[in-house]
Amino acid sequence: MKNVIIFNLSLYNIIFYFTIYAFLGWCIEVAYSALNTGKFVNRGFLNGPVCPIYGFGVVFIIIILSPIKNNIFMLFVGSIFITSFIEYITGFVLERIFNNRWWDYSNMPFNINGYICLKFSLGWGIASVFVIEVVHAIVYALVKLIPSLLGIIFIIIVITCFIVDIISTVQAILKLNIRIRKIEEVSVKMRNKSDALAKEIAKNTIELKKIYNENSVEFKEKYEANISQIKSKYETEFSELRCNYNKLMERKHILQRRILKAFPNIKSNKHFEALEQLKSRIDLRK
């Protein structure tokens, strides 16, 4: 029974630590983005004010590295490995699930498959040492001050909001993927129709040149009449495709826009051009 109580208290603390550091990580991301862009951007994968990757990172460091926290060098090295591993796995899994690359360090030196790079890994290591040596003592003291009943109620609310946020975010991403797939389908159809129009015009022009002198009045009259006839043949289809394309581009979706603003460098593995077209149409600066 005693072990069960200890486990429950440990889980209680872990959930609190995860929530606090996920929120602090979100604050860091927002501040970093504000410094670079001069405006507020709701950073992070989820819609709420949390970056789960920070919460998981610090919790794993606390659990795994607490026994060696007095050895600053080993704490630093261990933190680099743990945070880099989490960042790599997160990027890899998200890309495999949603077919989108959410961040890419490929242009940075000493990167591994674009998911992690030395510069940020060293930064995570330094930040982790600071958290364990300075910040966590304060967080630990604050969590102890919270009455157990109030803490349990808070945890229930946090978990509920977290689950709802995950569901709404996943739905938004899946809808975004469907949207860019439809954009690409319409774009392909428009290109195919354009190619068909060009081929038909070229074919008719060649046939006219066999009959009439290219500089003759008869050739110009026939050429203009044929061009007008061919264009009118395709005009309805082009008009419908353009209408569908504009509707897909102009569709308002707050959560999709939020995701694109949070990850302006996101790339689609299956529909790269369509996503880039959508990003260029949406003014992510606002």
pLDDT score of 149 = 93
The rounded distance, in Å, linking the Cα atoms of 137 and 122 is 23
DSSP secondary structure code for residue 116 in this structure: E
pLDDT score of 234 = 81
pLDDT score of 97 = 95
HSE of 62 in the Cβ direction (CA atoms, 13 Å)?
A: 23
State which H helix or E strand residue 167 sits in. helix 148-211
Helix axes 52-65, 118-130, angle to 10 degrees: 60
106: its two tokens = 């490929």
HSE of 64 in the Cβ direction (CA atoms, 13 Å)?
A: 17
215: its two tokens = 């500089």
Taking a C-beta distance cutoff of 8 angstroms, is the pair 144, 235 a contact?
A: no
Q: Please state, in angstroms and as integers, the Cα–Cα distance from residue 48 to each residue in 66, 103, 164, 262, following that order.
A: 29, 20, 10, 12
Angular region, 99: left φ>0, alpha ψ -120 to 50, beta rest = left
Name the amino acid, one letter, at 158.
V
91: its two tokens = 């990027």
pLDDT score of 101 = 95
Taking a C-beta distance cutoff of 8 angstroms, is the pair 91, 263 a contact?
A: no
218: its two tokens = 């008869």
pLDDT score of 286 = 58
Q: Is 243 helix (H, G, I), strand (E, B) or coil?
A: helix
The rounded distance, in Å, linking the Cα atoms of 50 and 17 is 12
Task: Give the Cα-Cα-Cα angle 119, 127, 29 (nearest 5 degrees).
Answer: 80
The rounded distance, in Å, linking the Cα atoms of 26 and 46 is 10
pLDDT score of 47 = 93
Between the CA atoms of 231, 236, 241 and 246, what dihedral angle is there, to the nearest 10 degrees? 100
- Quick one: which of 186, 183, 189, 169 has its CA closest to 258? 169
11: its two tokens = 């889980």
DSSP secondary structure code for residue 285 in this structure: T
Question: Is this structure's pTM higher than 0.75?
Answer: yes
Name the amino acid, one letter, at 102.
W
| pLDDT of the chain, 286 residues: tens digit per residue | 334 333 334 788 999 999 999 999 999 999 988 888 788 888 889 999 999 999 999 999 998 988 888 899 999 999 999 999 999 999 999 999 999 999 999 999 999 999 999 999 999 999 999 999 999 989 999 999 999 999 999 999 999 999 999 999 999 999 999 999 999 999 999 999 888 888 888 887 777 777 777 777 777 777 777 777 777 878 888 889 999 999 999 888 899 999 999 998 899 999 999 999 999 887 655 5
